[in-house]
Amino acid sequence: MREVDDRIRLWRNTVALFYELKTIGLKGPFKSAGYKIGVIEPVADPTGAGGVPDIVCSSDSKWAIIEVTLNDKPKKCQLDSYRDMNPRLFQQWLGDTIAGKPNVICSRLENDVDDGGYCQIFVRDRFDSKNTEKLSDTELAEYLRKFNGTDISRSPDIQIQLIPEMASKSYELRRGLVNLVLKLAEPGCRGRTADQIVTSGLERIAENVSETSKGKLVKSVEQQLVQLVEGKMKDYMEYDDSSPNIVFRFKEGVNIENKNTRSKIVRLLKEWVGERKGQTELSDYDSNDGDMTATT
C-alpha cells in the first residue's frame, strides 16, 4: 500500500514544481525558470531504442527530460538514453524553437540512489537537489539549488489520482479509482465514460499525457469498472453500453449520503481493491490531500 501512495505522492510533488504555490507564497523551481510540462509519456521513438521519457518540459529555448521513479536501482542507463534525444521528436508539444540536448533529471522521493552523476531532485518532505551543475540550463540549476530545503510535505492542490503507468498495474489502478467511483454518486451526475473518469483522475496533467498512454489507461479503467459493476457493485451501479463509449453510473435511488448505504459501498470498494485492513473511510485512499492553491 505504501508504494502505491508513494507513487502518487512522487508524481504530485514533482508536478507541483511547475506551479506557483500561492497559499505558502512559493514558486516551484521549474515555474521560476519558465518551464512548462509539454508531454507525459510520449512515444517518441517508434523503435523503442531511446526509451519513453516520463516528463518532457521546456522553457522558451531550453528543454528537459525528467525520469520519475520509485525504483531502488540506478536509472543511469535510462537517463543515458535520453541524453541524445532530438527535440524534433517532441516538436508537436514543445514547438519548433527548442534546440540542443535536453537537461536530464531524475525525480525521486528519497536521496538513497546514485543515478550515475545525473542531476537528481528529491521530493518527499523537504525538497533537495543534487548534481545541478550537470545541467546546461544554469538558470534552472540555480532555481533548483535555491529551492533546496523547502518544505513540500503539504501537497499543493494538485489532486492527481491516476498516472499512465497504472494501466498495467491493476491493484494500483483500482486503488486510484476508488474516489473517482464515489464521485459518480454526486448529485446531478448522470454517469461518466472511462475517458471522462481518466481525465478527472489525471487532473491537470490530463492535457499533457500522450494520446497513446492515455488510451491505454482508458482501456484499463473501462475493463476494471465493468468488472466492478458486474461484480461487487452490481446492486448499486450500472453501465450503459448502447454506444461505443460505456457510461458508468450509480443506480437511480442509491443515496450515498445514507450512513448504512455508504458503509456498504465502502466495504465493497475495499474488497474490490483487495484491502480490508487500515482503511475506514473512502477518503483514506487519497493519501496526500492538500490545502494549497496551485496556479500556472
Question: What local confidence, expressed as pLDDT, does residue 156 receive?
Answer: 58
Residue 80's DSSP bridge partners are none
Give pLDDT, residue 155: 59
69 and 118 assigned to the same domain: yes
> What is the pLDDT, as a whole number, of residue 44?
57
Q: How many domains is the chain partitioned into structurally?
A: 2
Average pLDDT of the chain? 88
Alpha-carbon span 87 to 31, nearest angstrom: 20
Q: In whole angstroms, give the CA distance from residue 140 to residue 192.
A: 40
Q: What CATH number should be reported for the domain holding residue 243?
A: 1.10.10
| Stated pTM of the model | 0.88
Nine cell digits for residue 136: 546546461
> Does residue 245 lie within any of the structural domains?
yes
User: Residue 157 domain-assigned?
Assistant: no
Domain that holds residue 248: 164-289
Asked whether residue 136 falls in the same domain as residue 206, the answer is no
Quickly state the pLDDT bin for 287 (edges 50, 70, 90).
very low
d(CA 221, CA 1): 19
What value does the mean pLDDT take over residues 38-44?
85
Residue indicated by cell numbers 499543493: 156
Q: Residue 131 has what pLDDT?
A: 98
Q: What is the SS3 assignment for the chain?
A: CHHHHHHHHHHHHHHHCCCEEHHHCEECHHHHCCCEEEEECCCCCCCCCCCCCCEEEECCCCEEEEEECCCCCCCHHHHHHHHCCCHHHHHHHHCCCCCCCCEEEEEECCCCCCCCCCEEEECCCECEEECHHHCCCHHHHHHHHHHCCCECCCCECCCCCCCHHHHHCHHHHHHHHHHHHHHCCCCCCCCEEHHHHHHHHHHHHCCCECHHHHHHHHHHHHHHHHHHHHCCCCCCEEEECCCCCCEEEECCCCCCCCHHHHHHHHHHHHHHHCCCCCCCCHHHHCCCCCCECEEC
The neighbour count for residue 76, using CB atoms within 10 Å, is 15
The domain boundary residue, chosen from 147, 175, 198: 147
Report the pLDDT averaged over residues 8-37.
Answer: 90
In a domain, 61, yes or no: yes
Q: pLDDT value at position 2?
A: 52
> For residue 155, is it within any domain?
no
Q: Is the pLDDT of residue 154 over 80?
A: no
Q: Is 294 inside any structural domain?
A: no
- Decide if 108 is inside a domain: yes
- Whether 154 is covered by a domain: the verdict is no
Q: What is the pLDDT of residues 208-253, one digit of tens each?
A: 999 999 999 999 999 999 999 999 999 999 999 998 999 999 999 9
The pLDDT value given to residue 160: 93
Q: Are residues 169 and 127 in the same domain?
A: no
pLDDT in tens, 92-128: 899 888 889 999 999 999 999 999 999 999 999 899 9
